[in-house]
Amino acid sequence: MLRRSGLICMALLPCSQASAATAERSTAATLEDGTVIEAVTLTGTNRVSARIISYGATLQSLTAPDSAGELADVLLGFDDAADYARLPSYFGVTVGRYANRIAGGRFAIDGKSYQVSQNDKGNSLHGGAVGFDKRPWRIVRVTQGRQASVTLALTSADGDQGYPGKVEAVVTYSLDDHGALTIRFDASTDRPTVINMTNHAIFNLAGEGAPGGALGHRLTIPAAAITPVDETLIPTGALRPVQGTVFDFRTARSLDQGIRDGRDPQIVRARGYDHNFALDKGLTPLPQLAARLEDPQSGRILEVLSTEPGVQLYTGNFLDGSVIGKRGHVYRMGDGIALEPQKFPDAPNRPDFASARVDPGRPYSHVMIYRLSVAP
């Protein structure tokens, strides 16, 4: 029997039996319109824990030990779950229908043009003005045992934000006892549409709010090229080799070595790093390494794996001190790093990019993993 607070047990696993990863479900907040936000905390025996809230199917916190065994929450965000609705900032949210940007909010399918919500310099960003991140999701399943998991669902109506097709979206977070949080995105449609979903967690492996931010972290991205952008951060359509540039993370180096290099027009346009890397692995049936982030001070290591062909590196360039986050911390540029696996930005308008089209009977799926460990 499941219960909404305290330990949650699977129907086939008696509570008296020792289990590995656990799940705890509770009420997190109630919005002004009466919407109840629920939370599920997944915890592994290695003390890694993830708290997911139903608003935006959001990863609210991810807590992990450092090399000395000290625990810290490594995600930027808010302590109060209601703030994710009051102060939308994409911290840890599920992004959809289309993560990243679509030029002018326009694209065509089978010769028919669609205009979707424009919310970023005339473009559409992260699904538009009211994307998946700004919706209450339904918790449909919670389990524990070898892995602890929570599954959330959302129905997006035909015409939602201008997108064609009724979409049934599902996100499942699963935590094991080895520091791996798997996030699986599934979606089906009754009409041809475009879908590109990801998680928008912003990390500081030294601990959220740690002095000095995250720019001293060492980053590896196995990608020989990026998709350079124009003044509105839309890909030009070209692939630019990273060799000899501040975008070359094929071997580990710290972010602060290139983030302020004004000699590179791409850094100037994005105010830092806000670019899609074309992963060498491409689109894969199983998750493969997309990025590795290491904090030399705490010893924490984050590996990001994904089935998708790209990963967006974002260094919090638009955090300007106006957002007050967890424990009263003021967030500024470089206080956290996002690594968002996904299809390429503006893929619906770029036939040479991996297609984001989804058809009836051919559902969408993306599997990504946040794998935490410590340096030996």
pLDDT tens-digit profile of 358-372? 999 999 999 999 999
Helix (H, G, I), strand (E, B) or coil at 250: coil
Q: Output the six-digit token pair for 200.
A: 């928008």
Q: Considering the candidates 38, 294, 340, 366, report the single residue annotated as catalytic.
A: 340
* Cα–Cα distance, 355 to 344 (Å, whole number): 9
Q: Looking at residue 11, what DSSP letter applies? A: T
Give pTM, 2 decimals. 0.94
Mean pLDDT of 213-227: 98
Is it the case that residue 294 has pLDDT exceeding 50?
A: yes
- Given the DSSP bridges, would you call strands 180-189 and 167-175 parallel, antiparallel or unpaired? antiparallel
Task: Say whether 340 is catalytic.
Answer: yes
* Cα–Cα distance, 52 to 48 (Å, whole number): 13
Q: Domain ranges in the chain?
A: 22-374
In single-letter form, the type of residue at position 365 comes to S
* Cα–Cα distance, 359 to 195 (Å, whole number): 10
Measured CA distances, 125 to 51, 118, 171, 279, 347 (Å): 26, 7, 20, 22, 13
| pLDDT given at position 20 | 86
What is the third-level CATH fold of 22-374? Beta-galactosidase; Chain A, domain 5 (2.70.98)
Lowest-pLDDT choice from 16-30, 143-157, 219-233, 287-301: 16-30
Is it the case that residue 222 has pLDDT exceeding 60?
A: yes
Task: Say whether 200 is catalytic.
Answer: yes
Q: CB atoms < 10 A from the CB of 338, how many? A: 22
Q: Output the six-digit token pair for 96.
A: 């959809």
Is it the case that residue 2 has pLDDT exceeding 60?
A: no
Q: Which residue, among 100, 139, 184, has the nearest Cα to 364 in the 3D structure?
A: 184
269 contacts: CB under 8 Å, gap ≥ 6: 229, 230, 231, 233
Is it the case that residue 313 has pLDDT exceeding 90?
A: yes
pLDDT tens-digit profile of 330-358? 999 999 999 999 999 999 999 999 999 99
Q: Considering the candidates 38, 126, 200, 303, report the single residue annotated as catalytic.
A: 200
Q: Which residue, among 354, 56, 62, 276, has the nearest Cα to 182 in the 3D structure?
A: 62
| pLDDT given at position 5 | 38
| pLDDT given at position 287 | 98
